[in-house]
Amino acid sequence: MAIQQVLLKLPIPRDFNFGGQNNFYFQVIGTNAKQYIEINNFSFSSGNPILYDFDIWIRG
């Protein structure tokens, strides 16, 4: 009898709901494909949001 293995990677949607905070740490797994991120319930009390990439130290 032959044994077979299968590995599946399924994208799991994540809700980026910041709960009204004005500072929130999150991670997105990098790929070569474009990714769409929607952020909800973010506090704009201190201005427009700024995203930082701490892996390559750039501000987006």
Overall number of domains in the chain: 1
- List pLDDT tens digits, range 3-57: 777 776 666 667 778 888 878 787 877 788 887 888 888 888 877 878 888 888 8
Is residue 5 in some structural domain? no
pLDDT at 7: 72
Is residue 1 in some structural domain? no
Tell me how far CA of residue 51 lies from CA of 21, 27, 54, in angstroms.
14, 11, 10
pLDDT at 18: 81
Length of the chain: 60
pTM for this model (two decimals): 0.49
Give the residue numbers spanning the domain of 37. Answer: 16-60
Is residue 3 in some structural domain? no
pLDDT at 9: 67
* CA–CA–CA angle 2, 6, 10 (5° rounding): 170
Is residue 21 in some structural domain? yes
Give the contacts of 44 (CB within 8 A, at least 6 positions apart): 22
